[in-house]
């Protein structure tokens, strides 16, 4: 029997599944055939099947290194319920339980044994391994082995030596590993010509969305909308313990059964909150990133990040806990630029500079204890950084058997500096995600896949593809178009150099030192919109940003969250008069718009309901009867197919609100179609015939 057929048979016999998920069969065949593997498969993609299935068919025991006791327990319980011989050895077992597991392992009675990486410190356990037939070595949460990973754990470094001792094929699985981290995993485990698999990022039941919120009140309002529209159960992630408690209290005020989870609560309280949530007795839980790894709850309907996470890796791992049952779920990041400062605080605390290591090493040599050393720092960030330095110094001194404070600092300071740089890069990538106007799923795939050969996923479900993020806009008068083109020309001339504030100063003709010292007053666009107020020009630039004609561009090596403005291809076409712009620009305030007498602009900013297709989560509530719902569904299908064919976001064709209006009014001629809000002559010419064709189709003609 071929490997493929054997795995297919075991999939049904052992696990009761008829079909593999994306990537599972390819990974499982490689493991079964003895090929090294490194696989990046998002949370909920079914990574465990990739090594559990081969383990059912191989002679010997598959050794799985896994970081969490709860995760190991869940896996073992699930396998034993299927009469699959499995066990785990960890610190949570009693002496008799550990003896029974070791005895079964020694006697060859187990197909799978789970162990924590800390177990590899034990010489006794390493000796036991040499007496057992180990078929495969599997590393779960493999990003923990890489110092460039977002959750590095020093004990994982022992696995590379173990792999050499065992001399068996190895497979590494993680939900979050960039190309650099994958390379490091391969090096640390000495993988030989491994299958590198990056897959599973197309989760069409998840709606990834971002809401830009200017205040905590705005975040609370956004959370209310999500909970109201989607419903529980769900998770709210926050950056600090204080904020976690605040969000838990708010959830309870809204009538939800909710609790909190963070490191400031004792173990019993944390475990109780987790168990209550898993059992369905809690509708929501507010937590720091300490909550979630190994959480096996399939029906989570929303995951809300109330603060910006420190990396795309952390964000996607946490967001991926939603909708594992395959039903619709929403993952929303409530983003405020102020959140960046919190993450910068954490970065400085977890990446001490070389001077701090030297200072801490010197004080340890003088006999000072950790508490005294940390208390000597005047600022919280410095105290946190000193704590990090002390921990790393003590670990290094113990490993290298050197007396505290004697000789050179036993830490590789160059490597520490490189880690700090990479952590900063990760935060910058997360900020780019928050500001990005591209498909959320594609952004995440590109971030993790890098140069992998897999085809990018087709989305159509994120806020960008659905058009929720952007203003639908309206056609502008000739005078208004001229104003827009002048603003875009200024952006083009200053592209990659300045942000909105400086560009606005140039346009109104400011003679401030910030402008004249850089020679910006000599630009042709200087003063071209001098009749407008500075704030009005900033609002115009915000409207152009919201309409997709201007984009934020990060500054290399600058602080995370520092951006300049640049033109998008659509903006360049408008500037060159090759396309007509559409902006959410109230007519009542722009009737006399122009370079000479530009009116005050009050274009809705990101987050304003008037600038969105509904309350940042759904199209405007246009009631539809049964036939209308059917038409709306068919129009969305047509739009998605056309968008994929043209490789553009669906909302570029029509916003959801426009499709719903079409389904409600059911126009039968081009003239009637032109009367639908959101359809102008250009849209009619480009898509009118196709839309009318969809409307004329019989529901029975669908396939």
Q: What is the DSSP letter of 603?
A: P
222 & 287 share domain: yes
Does residue 260 belong to any structural domain of this protein?
A: yes
pLDDT at 609 over 50: no
Alpha-carbon distances, residue 101 vs 86, 207, 304 (angstroms): 9, 43, 40
- Residue that wins the pLDDT comparison between 559 and 423: 423
* 401-413: average pLDDT: 89
Q: Residue 76: name the closest of 42, 48, 117, 35 by CA.
A: 48
Q: So what's the pLDDT on residue 473?
A: 64
pLDDT digits (tens, 9 = 90+) for 621-638: 577 777 888 888 888 888
- Residue that wins the pLDDT comparison between 44 and 430: 430
Q: Residue 215: name the closest of 567, 605, 612, 645 by CA.
A: 605
Rounded CA gap, 181 and 187, in Å? 10
Bond into 236 cis (ω within 30) = no
Contact 139, 170 (CB under 8 A): yes
Flag the least confident range among 138-142, 416-420, 551-555: 551-555
pLDDT digits (tens, 9 = 90+) for 581-596: 877 765 534 444 455 5
Q: Which two tokens stand for residue 234?
A: 């769900």
Q: So what's the pLDDT on residue 277?
A: 92
pLDDT digits (tens, 9 = 90+) for 432-455: 888 887 788 888 888 888 655 566
Q: Could you say which of 168, 198, 228 is where a domain stops? A: 198
Q: So what's the pLDDT on residue 302?
A: 95
Q: So what's the pLDDT on residue 259?
A: 94
Count of alpha carbons within 13 angstroms of residue 679, beta-carbon side = 24
Q: Which two tokens stand for residue 178?
A: 């960039």
pLDDT at 542 over 90: no
Contact 245, 236 (CB under 8 A): no
Which of 93-97, 245-249, 478-482 is most confident?
Answer: 245-249
Q: Which two tokens stand for residue 371?
A: 């508490």
**Per DSSP, what are the bridge partners of residue 209?**
332
191 & 115 share domain: yes
169 & 21 share domain: yes
Rounded CA gap, 315 and 331, in Å? 10
pLDDT at 607 over 50: no
Does residue 462 belong to any structural domain of this protein?
A: no
145 & 246 share domain: no
pLDDT at 612 over 60: no
Q: So what's the pLDDT on residue 251?
A: 93
Question: What does the radius of gyration of the chain's CA atoms come to, in whole angstroms?
Answer: 29
Q: Could you say which of 198, 224, 251 is where a domain stops? A: 198
pLDDT at 645 over 80: no
Print the domain residue range for 36. Answer: 3-198
Contact 335, 343 (CB under 8 A): no
Average pLDDT, the chain: 82
Whose tokens are 């087709």? That residue is 458
Does residue 438 belong to any structural domain of this protein?
A: no
551 & 597 share domain: yes
225 & 324 share domain: yes
Does residue 443 belong to any structural domain of this protein?
A: no
Contact 82, 15 (CB under 8 A): yes
Q: Which two tokens stand for residue 228?
A: 């109201």
415 & 564 share domain: no
pLDDT at 303 over 90: yes
* Confidence bin at 151 (pLDDT 50/70/90): low
Alpha-carbon distances, residue 572 vs 491, 523, 553 (angstroms): 10, 18, 15
Q: How many CB atoms lie within 10 A of CB 564?
A: 20
Q: So what's the pLDDT on residue 331?
A: 95
Count of alpha carbons within 13 angstroms of residue 205, beta-carbon side = 19
583 & 664 share domain: no
pLDDT at 482 over 70: yes
* Confidence bin at 603 (pLDDT 50/70/90): very low
* Confidence bin at 600 (pLDDT 50/70/90): very low
Q: How many CB atoms lie within 10 A of CB 247?
A: 26
Does residue 525 belong to any structural domain of this protein?
A: yes
Whose tokens are 């003590």? That residue is 394
Contact 233, 300 (CB under 8 A): yes
Which of 84-88, 378-382, 650-654, 683-687 is most confident?
Answer: 84-88
378 & 410 share domain: yes
pLDDT digits (tens, 9 = 90+) for 661-675: 888 888 888 888 888
- Residue that wins the pLDDT comparison between 68 and 246: 246
* 475-495: average pLDDT: 87
Whose tokens are 């201007």? That residue is 550
* Confidence bin at 578 (pLDDT 50/70/90): confident
Supply the CATH number for residue 11's domain: 3.40.50.300
pLDDT digits (tens, 9 = 90+) for 210-259: 988 888 899 999 999 999 889 999 999 999 999 999 999 999 998 999 99
Rounded CA gap, 73 and 86, in Å? 10
Q: So what's the pLDDT on residue 638?
A: 87
Please give the sequence-ordered ranges of beta strands (E in DSSP) within 536-675, or none if there are none. Answer: 550-554, 563-567, 582-583
The total of structural domains in the chain comes to: 5
pLDDT digits (tens, 9 = 90+) for 372-386: 888 887 777 788 888
Q: Could you say which of 335, 354, 378 is where a domain stops? A: 335
Does residue 42 belong to any structural domain of this protein?
A: yes
**Per DSSP, what are the bridge partners of residue 87?**
113
pLDDT at 200 over 70: no
* Confidence bin at 45 (pLDDT 50/70/90): low
250 & 312 share domain: yes
Q: So what's the pLDDT on residue 222?
A: 92
32 & 76 share domain: yes
570 & 672 share domain: no
Which of 40-49, 66-75, 521-530, 535-544 is most confident?
Answer: 521-530
Q: So what's the pLDDT on residue 336?
A: 87
Q: So what's the pLDDT on residue 629?
A: 81
Does residue 620 belong to any structural domain of this protein?
A: no
Supply the CATH number for residue 605's domain: 1.10.10.10
Phi-psi region of 60 (alpha: psi -120 to 50; beta: other; left: phi over 0): left
**Per DSSP, what are the bridge partners of residue 208?**
331
Distant-in-sequence, close-in-space partners of 302: CB < 8 Å, separation ≥ 6: 226, 227, 230, 231, 232, 234, 235, 322, 329, 330, 331, 332
Sequence length of the chain is 703
Does residue 464 belong to any structural domain of this protein?
A: no
Contact 478, 580 (CB under 8 A): no
Percent of the chain with pLDDT over 70: 88
pLDDT digits (tens, 9 = 90+) for 306-350: 999 999 988 998 998 999 888 999 999 999 888 888 888 888 888
pLDDT digits (tens, 9 = 90+) for 261-298: 998 898 889 889 988 998 899 999 999 988 876 677 88
Mode of pairing for the β-strands spanning 329-335 and 582-583: unpaired
């Amino acid at each position: 029997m071929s490997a493929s057929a054997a795995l297919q048979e075991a999939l049904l016999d052992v696990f009761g599944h008829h079909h593999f998920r994306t990537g599972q069969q390819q990974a499982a065949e490689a493991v079964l055939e003895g090929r090294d593997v490194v696989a990046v498969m998002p949370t909920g993609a079914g990574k465990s099947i990739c090594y559990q299935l081969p383990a059912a068919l191989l002679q010997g025991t598959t050794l799985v290194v896994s970081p969490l006791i709860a995760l190991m327990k869940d896996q073992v319980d699930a396998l034993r319920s299927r009469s699959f011989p499995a066990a785990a050895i960890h610190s949570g077992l009693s002496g008799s339980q550990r003896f029974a597991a070791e005895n079964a392992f020694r006697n060859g009675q187990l197909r799978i044994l789970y162990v924590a990486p800390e177990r590899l410190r034990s010489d006794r356990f390493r000796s036991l391994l040499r007496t057992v037939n180990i078929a495969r070595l599997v590393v779960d949460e493999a990003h923990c082995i890489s110092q460039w990973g977002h959750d590095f754990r020093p004990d994982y470094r022992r696995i590379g030596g173990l792999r050499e001792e065992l001399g068996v094929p190895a497979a590494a699985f993680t939900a979050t590993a960039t190309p650099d981290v994958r390379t490091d995993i391969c090096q640390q485990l000495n993988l030989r010509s491994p299958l590198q698999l990056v897959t599973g990022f197309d989760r069409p039941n998840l709606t990834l969305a971002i809401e830009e919120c200017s205040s905590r009140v705005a975040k609370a309002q956004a959370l209310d909308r999500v909970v109201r529209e989607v419903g529980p159960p769900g998770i709210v992630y926050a950056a600090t313990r204080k904020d976690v408690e605040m969000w838990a209290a708010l959830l309870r005020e809204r009538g939800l059964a909710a609790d909190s989870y963070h490191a400031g609560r004792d173990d019993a309280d944390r475990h109780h909150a987790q168990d209550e949530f898993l059992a369905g007795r809690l509708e929501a839980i507010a937590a720091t990133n300490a909550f979630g790894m190994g959480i096996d709850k399939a029906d989570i309907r929303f995951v809300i990040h109330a603060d910006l996470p420190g990396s795309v890796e952390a964000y996607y791992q946490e967001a991926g806990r939603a909708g594992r049952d395959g039903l619709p779920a929403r993952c929303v990041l409530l983003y405020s630029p102020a959140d960046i400062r919190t993450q910068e605080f954490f970065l400085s605390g977890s990446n001490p500079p070389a001077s701090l290591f030297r200072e801490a090493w010197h004080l340890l040599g003088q006999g000072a204890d950790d508490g005294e050393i940390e208390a000597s720092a005047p600022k919280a960030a410095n105290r946190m950084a000193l704590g990090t330095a002390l921990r790393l110094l003590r670990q290094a001194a113990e490993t290298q058997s050197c007396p505290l404070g004697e000789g050179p600092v036993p830490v590789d300071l160059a490597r520490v500096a490189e880690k700090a740089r990479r952590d900063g890069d990760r935060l910058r990538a997360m900020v780019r995600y928050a500001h990005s106007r591209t498909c959320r799923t594609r952004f995440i795939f590109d971030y993790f896949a890098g140069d992998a050969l897999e085809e990018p996923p087709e989305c159509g479900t994120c806020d960008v593809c659905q058009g929720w993020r952007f203003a639908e806009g309206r056609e502008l008068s000739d005078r208004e178009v001229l104003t827009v083109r002048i603003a875009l020309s200024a952006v083009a001339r200053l592209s990659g150099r300045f942000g909105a504030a400086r560009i606005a100063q140039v346009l109104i003709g400011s003679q401030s030192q910030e402008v004249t010292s850089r020679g910006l007053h000599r630009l042709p666009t200087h003063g071209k919109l001098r009749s407008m107020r500075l704030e009005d020009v900033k609002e115009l630039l915000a409207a152009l940003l919201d309409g997709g004609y201007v984009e934020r561009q990060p500054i290399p090596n600058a602080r995370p969250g520092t951006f300049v403005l640049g033109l998008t291809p659509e903006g360049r076409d408008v500037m060159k008069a090759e396309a007509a712009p559409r902006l959410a620009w109230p007519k009542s305030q722009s009737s006399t718009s122009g370079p000479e007498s530009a009116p005050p602009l009050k274009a809705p900013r990101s987050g304003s309901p008037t600038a969105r297709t509904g309350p940042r989560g759904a199209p405007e509530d246009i009631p539809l009867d049964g036939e209308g719902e059917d038409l709306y569904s068919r129009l969305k299908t047509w739009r998605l197919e056309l968008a994929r064919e043209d490789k553009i976001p669906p909302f570029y064709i029509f916003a959801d609100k426009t499709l719903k209006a079409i389904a409600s009014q059911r126009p039968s001629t081009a003239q009637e179609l032109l009367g639908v809000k959101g359809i102008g002559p250009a849209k009619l010419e480009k898509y009118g015939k196709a839309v009318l064709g969809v409307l004329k189709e019989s529901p029975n003609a669908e396939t």
